[in-house]
Structure 1
C-alpha cells in the first residue's frame, strides 16, 4: 500500500520491476543519485528511463561529463529494444559538457544546465559523471552548493534529475544527505558467479521495497526482479473445504480423499523414487475448471510429455486444449526472484489451480544465499494459497538408501500442510519402491508403509508389508515370530513375504 503524498506527481521509469520497488516511480522535480561501479548498468538504466519518458510525451536531456562520445554510447544502446533513434534529437537531446566543466568550472556547468533545461523544456535531466563535478570542486562546501542550486532549479522547472556517479574519493558523501533519493547498483560475487543487484538506500516522500533486488541486462535493457519475500503481502487464505485428487486413487485413499484444496504437499524422495511420476499423474486431472501448470527445471517439455505417456499418463491432449501449461527453466545460473516472479506470473495469467513444481533443487541452485530460502518459500506458498492453487512440490533427498531422511534446506517442511515420503528399500535381494504419508493437515491418513509400482499402466500401490520390519531403514528384514503358546508350539509358520495385490 502506497504511503506517498497523493499530490506528488510520479514519473514512471519504464524499467520492469523498478516502479514496483519505488512504490510507483520517481517524483517529478526531485533529484536522485544513481551510484555504482563501472559496468554495473548506470548508463543503460538512465537511457532506458529517458527513452521511456519521451515515448510517453515527456522531454529529456542527457548531459555527459565523460570523454566517451555520444555516438559510441548510442551504438551500445542501439541493440536494445527500448532504443528509438527517431526520438533523437527531437524529444531526447544529448549534450557534452566535458569541455565546459574543464574550461569554466562549476559555474559554467550550472549555467549550461539551466540554459539547456529551459531551451529544450526538459522534464527529465540525466547528468552522467557526477564524480567529475566532485573532483572539480575546490571543497565539499562548493560541491554541496552546486547540488543545492541544481535542486532549486529542478524544482522550479519541475524537472526530475538523475545524477550518475561511480563513487567518491572518500567514504564521506555530503551530497547523499541533500538529494531526494539514492539508488545503488552493484555487481556481487556469489562463489564463481556474479549477480547484478539494485538497492534503494534513500527515497523521500514514499515507501520503497527495502534490501537488494537482482536484475539482468539483456536486449530489453535492465529487468529487475523484486525480492519475492519483500513485495508479497501477508494474506490469510480462506480455510479449504474440498479435497483434490492426486490422480492416483490409492494415494487419495491414504490421504482421506486427497490433499485439501489450496494446500501444499511435499513429495520427498531420492532421485528415481517416483516424484515426477506422481506429479504428472496429478496434472493429468487438469481441466477447464482446474487449469494446471508444470514448473520444472530438469526435463524439457517434449521429454516430460513423452516420459509421462510411457507410463500411461496423457498430457498432450490437456496441453492442446489449453488446460495444462509447461514452464521450463534450465537449472543454469538462474536468478531466484526471477523464478518466483515467473511462477506467479504464469499462475495468474492462466488461472492455475493445479501446480507441480519439479523441483525444489532448481530454486536452491539459484539462491544467492541459503538463509533466504525459508522466507522465500513462505511468501511464495502463502501467495499460492491465496490464489487457490493446490501445489505439489518435489523435494529430492540426497540419500538413495538410508535410515535417515536429509532435507536439502532447513524449515521447508513447516511450510507444507502435507508430506508424502518415497523411498527405496532392499528386501529379499530385491529393491522396492515404498510410499508413506507423513502428514495431512486437516484430517487423518493411512499410516501404512506401502510398496508401489510404476509401469505402462501407471502407478499402482500394493498392500502393506507383513512379516517384515525396518523397511524404512532401507534394509528390510523378517520380523521375529510371535511367541507361541503350548497349543501351537508344534505349529511352524514361515515369515510371509510382502503382501502383493
Structure 2
C-alpha cells in the first residue's frame, strides 16, 4: 500500500509506514501538546512545487504568529511559504449566522484540493467549527468533506483540542481513518510528552504510549521498544575475557559472548570500576564498545580509568569507544532506547555497559512496564551480537535484596559484590550467584581494588553470613 511519509523521525515507525493518501487523520490533544507543530512539520516535509501543502486555519492563531513561532525549528524553510506551503483562513466563511454555513467551507476545501492536487491538507482547528453550527450540520459537512477528499491523493489532517469524552463520541472520530492522541504528562524530575495511535484502519501500527520530544529539529517520536520486533539474536559463541583478574576463572573461562550480565552491589563497592575494566579489555581486543552512564560524564570516566592505567581517551578519539552520558534529569526510557539503537545500527558494537539499572527504574515511573522494557532492551542488544554488562545498586548493610525492578531473571549471569566485616576489618567479597547453562565456582572470594583495578583473590574460609543469613550449625554433642 502506498504511504505518505510524515517526515517526522520515528512517527512513520509507529504508523506502520506513514499515512495513506486520501485518508483522514485527527490529531487530538490538550493545548500545548504539539499538534500545530507536528502538522506544520509534516507540511514542510512533504510539500513540493508540484504538490503543495495547504494549511487552513479557522479561528486559531493569526498566520503571522504561526509562522513566527516556526523560526526556531530546523524544518522551517521561509522560501517555501506560498509556492509550497500555503496558509489560508476559513474564518470569514463561518462568521455570519446564515444556516448552512458549512457548505461554502466544504466546497472551498474540496474545490482547491480537486483543482490543485495538494499532498497534504490541514484544518486547524476542526473542533472550533463546533462553535458555529449544530451537530447535525457538522456531521453532514464532515461526511461530505471526507467523502470528496477520499477520491484524491491528499491526506487530510483535522486538529483539535478534544477531550477524551469528545474523542469517544465526535463525528470526526467515527469518520477518521487514523486517530493520534497527543498528551503532556507532568511528573518529576522531567515532564513527559507522549502520543498514542488510538485508531488506524488497514495498518498494523505500534500500540501503547510513545514518547515524543519537541526540540530545535522539530517533532521527534521515540517508539517504545516493547512494540518493536528485535529479531533473533545474532549467533555468537565462545567466551570473552572480562579483564578482571581472577573473575574469568570463577566463571569457567569468561563471560559467554552475547550474554547479559548484571553486577549487583552497594555504592562504592567497585561496580563502575568493573564496568570500565570490561570496556578497557574490549578495546584491547580491538572491539568497539558503548558505555551508557547516568552519573559520570565521559571526561570523568576517562580520568577514573586513567588512574588504573586504562587509556579510554584514545579509544574515544578513534571512536572505538562511545560514551553516552544521560543526566538523570533528562533520562527517558524511550529516548535512551532510541539512542542505544542508533549506536548499534551505526556499526558493530561488541560490548555494552549500562551504569546503572537503578536510575533506569527511577526514570520509568511505570513499575508494571519496566520488566517488559528491560527484556526488550536486552533483546535489542543481543540481537546486535553485543555482550551486555549492567550494574545495579543494592543496600550497603544487611541482606542483598532483589534489585529494584525485579528483573534479575532476565540476565544470564548474576555477580554479587558485598562489603564484609572480618575481625573489625571491612573487606569486599564477590561470588557468582547465577550462570545460566554453565558451571561456575560456588566460592565466596575476597577481592581488592588496587592500582590495577579490581582483582579477585582467594576464597574466604570459615566465614558465613556473607549473603545476609547464617547457616544452621549442628550442635556439638558432649558426653
Shorter-chain TM-score bucket reads over 0.9
Question: Within 5 A, what are the aligned runs for 1:440-451?
Answer: 440-451=435-446
The yes-or-no answer on 1:358 pairing with 2:351 is no
1:25 aligned partner: 18
2:374 aligned partner: 377
Distance of 1:55 and 1:275 partners within structure 2: 54
Equivalent residue pairs, number: 473
- Encode CA deviations 1:99-147: one digit per residue, 9 max, x unaligned: 2111362012112213333454322100001112223222x33222111
The yes-or-no answer on 1:202 pairing with 2:199 is yes
The yes-or-no answer on 1:111 pairing with 2:104 is no
Does the residue aligned with 2:249 lie in a helix, a strand or coil?
Answer: helix
| One of 421, 427, 431 as aligned partner of 1:426 | 421
- Encode CA deviations 1:202-237: one digit per residue, 9 max, x unaligned: 11121100111111111111111111101234x443
| One of 138, 148, 158 as aligned partner of 1:143 | 138
Question: Within 5 A, what are the aligned runs for 1:151-170?
Answer: 151-167=146-162, 170=166
Structure 1, unpaired ranges of 5+? 1-5, 487-501
The yes-or-no answer on 1:402 pairing with 2:398 is yes
2:252 aligned partner: 256
Distance of 1:10 and 1:354 partners within structure 2: 37
The yes-or-no answer on 1:134 pairing with 2:127 is no
Distance of 2:331 and 2:200 partners within structure 1: 29
Given that residues 245 and 252 in structure 1 are in contact (C-alpha distance below 8 angstroms), is that contact kept between their aligned partners in structure 2? Answer: yes
Does the residue aligned with 1:439 lie in a helix, a strand or coil?
Answer: strand
TM-score, structure 1 as length reference:
0.89
TM-score, structure 2 as length reference:
0.93
Distance of 1:350 and 1:314 partners within structure 2: 22
Does the residue aligned with 2:69 lie in a helix, a strand or coil?
Answer: helix
2:39 aligned partner: 46
Distance of 1:481 and 1:316 partners within structure 2: 56
| One of 24, 29, 34 as aligned partner of 2:27 | 34
Does the residue aligned with 1:205 lie in a helix, a strand or coil?
Answer: coil
1:187 aligned partner: 184
| One of 90, 95, 113 as aligned partner of 1:97 | 90
Does the residue aligned with 1:284 lie in a helix, a strand or coil?
Answer: helix
Shift of 1:333: 3.7
Distance of 2:237 and 2:24 partners within structure 1: 53
Distance of 2:337 and 2:60 partners within structure 1: 41
Shift of 1:279: 0.7
Does the residue aligned with 1:125 lie in a helix, a strand or coil?
Answer: strand
How well do the aligned residues superpose, as a CA RMSD in angstroms? 2.5
Structure 2, unpaired ranges of 5+? none
1:465 aligned partner: 460
The yes-or-no answer on 1:336 pairing with 2:329 is no
Distance of 1:212 and 1:89 partners within structure 2: 36
Bigger CA drift: 282-291 or 349-358? 282-291
Question: Within 5 A, what are the aligned runs for 1:450-489?
Answer: 450-473=445-468
Q: Which has the larger radius of gyration?
A: 1
Distance of 1:143 and 1:328 partners within structure 2: 52
Distance of 2:373 and 2:338 partners within structure 1: 11
